Chain A
C-alpha cells in the first residue's frame, strides 16, 4: 500500500483470517450496483428521503419560531404551507417521511438479524412501498378532513 489519496481508503484495508491484506469495497458504491434492482434502489432511496426530510426539519423550525414571534410571522408560514407550492412541498415531504420511517423500521428488523433472505427482502421491500403510498394518502385524508 503506497500513499493514501483519500482518508476513506483506511477503512477499506482489511485482513483475511490467514493474515494477508485485502482491500474491501466501500459499501455505498453507486457505480457498481444496478439501480433497477429493488434492493439497490430502495437502499439509496432511504438516504435520499432522509436528506429530503433534513430539509423538511427547517420548515418545522420556521413554523415553531414563527409561532413564538407572533401572529403576522405565523400567518406567513401558514400562507406558504397552504399555497400550491407549499402543499406540493408538504405532500412530497410526507411521502419521503413515511418512506424513511418504514424503510428505517426495515433496517431495524435487519439489525435484529431477521429478513436477510432474498424472498423476504423483496416482500418487505414491497411492503415499504405499499405502506408509504397508503400512509401518505391516509395522512392527507386526515389533513383534508380537518382543514
Chain B
C-alpha cells in the first residue's frame, strides 16, 4: 500500500485491514460507559453525601423517634433514596475495578465480581426499603 501525502486519511503502513488489527484485542462493547458513569455518580454524590454527613453530624445521639421523624420527612426521604441508589452504583463500579485489577485467578475474579454486585444490590434494596417503610 502506498503512503499518500495528500488527503485527510490516517497513514496506513500495514496491509492488515483495521478490523483484523483489533480482532482479539479485547472487548469494545461499552467503551467509556463504565468510566463515565463513575464520574456522573461522583458529581451527584458530592452534594448528597455532604448533606447526609452534615445532617447526621449536627444531630448526633438522635432518639429513635427523632430519627424516624427525620427520615420520614418527604424532602429527606427523596434525598436519602437518591443517596442510596447512587452510593451503591458508585461503590459497585469502584470495587469492580479494584477486583479486576488485583484478582489474577479468572474464576476467583468472576466469583468476587458477582459477589460484589449481589451484596451492593441487596444492601441498596434493604436501605431503600427501610426509608420507604418509614416515609410511606
Contact = CB atoms under 8 A, between A and B. Distances in A.
B43 A18 contact: no
Contacts of B58: 142-143, 146
Given A26-B101, A58-B123, A146 B60 contact: yes
Interface string B72-112: 00000000100000011001001100101110101000000
Question: Size range of the interface on A?
Answer: 35 or more
B19 interface: no
Given A67-B64, A67-B67, A101-B49, A139 B129 contact: no
Given A6-B104, A28-B101, A111-B39, A97 B49 contact: yes
Secondary structure type dominating chain B contacts: helix
B14 A19 contact: yes
Question: Size range of the interface on B?
Answer: 35 or more
A64 B71 contact: yes
Nearest to B36: A111
Interface string A106-117: 001001000000
A89 to B, nearest CB: 14
A108 B60 contact: no
Interface in A62-89: 64-65, 67-68, 70-71, 74-75, 78, 82
Contact of B60 (A10, A19, A67, A147): A147
Nearest to B132: A68
A17 interface: yes
A36 to B, nearest CB: 21
Contact of B42 (A67, A68, A104): A104
B133 interface: yes
Interface of B: 11-14, 16, 21, 24-27, 39, 42-43, 46, 49-50, 53-54, 57-62, 64, 67-68, 71, 80, 87-88, 91, 94-95, 98, 100-102, 104, 106, 123, 126-127, 129-131, 133-134
